[in-house]
Structure 1
């Protein structure tokens, strides 16, 4: 492996983080335009207007780069610096994740805590719940989904949770049945107690 492999992987990891942050910020900016006092298509008109503004801005940036190609050097340098900085913080949590696998039962307990008395919970609610407790900083809903699926916790595409108007990705209480390992530990503990 060459000595440039580590800096290159740091820039790649940082580019992924920067891309996800920009996409999450753009999506949040577009979502904030949705009006709760209206229904149907009228409620989403602001979202469509902001999406059109974003597309127009990207088109104008492309036209500017076509008119002044040397501007791409400046933009590339800025992207590399941002990726390098984000790659530093992205590599530390990645190393921690590989060194210590999360406890599936602890994750299930966290999901049940986020659910409360409800039968289901949306992933964005779980992410907010995590971030309020100082975990998952910089994660997106997609990151959380990937981590849950890696732990074999089923994520349903359309879950209706209390207090929400529309179904979205989430976890159902019925899918959080104890793992077979936990069942064996419980049965072993009860047989030894008897």
Structure 2
């Protein structure tokens, strides 16, 4: 009798531990993404990362505030610990549901070709364009509605689409952008395009 009960308790403990690790990882990733989103791609040097620094300070202040409250009123733990355990189990359940419902992703090569085609369309006759302008045009075409420039940069880098780090366009200061000459020509894309052409996943 004692051994099966002990095994069941150990199994629940392992489940809770796995859920806590997943919850900590997700919270860390979200916090890091939130901090990175504070970077200004239209600025350079220290000015570009002031937003990131401010968000780091806010996170540190929040962590210190939580620690101070627990030190001042330890009774908070009676509510915080069960809530944390519940969130850990929910995170584990959500991960299982995501694995079951995860859609089949398109082939990377096909997605890259479609995105390059779309970038050629956005650039038109212009030799270059800053990422902020590219994003504006993409959103006008119904892509990346809630994205920021950092989201677009991350997706283009994942598809290995060349991004110029210091691109000067017109009178605007140099910042990240797309140089049309650095993109594969449309003729090359059309030669290797599958049929039917998949929709872009930018």
* More contact order relative to length (CA 8 Å, sep ≥ 6): 2
Other-structure match for 2:34: 22
Specify every segment of 5 or more residues in structure 1 that has no aligned partner in the other structure, as ranges.
Answer: 35-43, 187-194
Other-structure match for 1:144: 152
Cα deviation digits, residues 143-175 of structure 1 (max 9, x gap): 4333323433211211112352x2111110110
From 162, 171, 181, the equivalent of 2:170 is 162
Other-structure match for 1:113: 121
What is the deviation of 1:57? 4.1
Q: Secondary structure at the match of 2:129?
A: strand
User: Greater CA radius of gyration, 1 or 2?
Assistant: 2
Cα deviation digits, residues 12-54 of structure 1 (max 9, x gap): 88647743663366457xx9xx9xxxxxxxxx6xx96x77865
Other-structure match for 1:64: 65
Would the alpha carbon gap of residues 167 and 60 (structure 1) be closer, same or farther in structure 2, given more than 3 Å must change?
same
Aligned length: 159
Specify every segment of 5 or more residues in structure 2 that has no aligned partner in the other structure, as ranges.
Answer: 1-13, 194-202
Distance 2:148 2:107 in 1: 21
Q: Secondary structure at the match of 1:170?
A: strand
Distance 1:25 1:162 in 2: 26
Would the alpha carbon gap of residues 184 and 66 (structure 1) be closer, same or farther in structure 2, given more than 3 Å must change?
closer
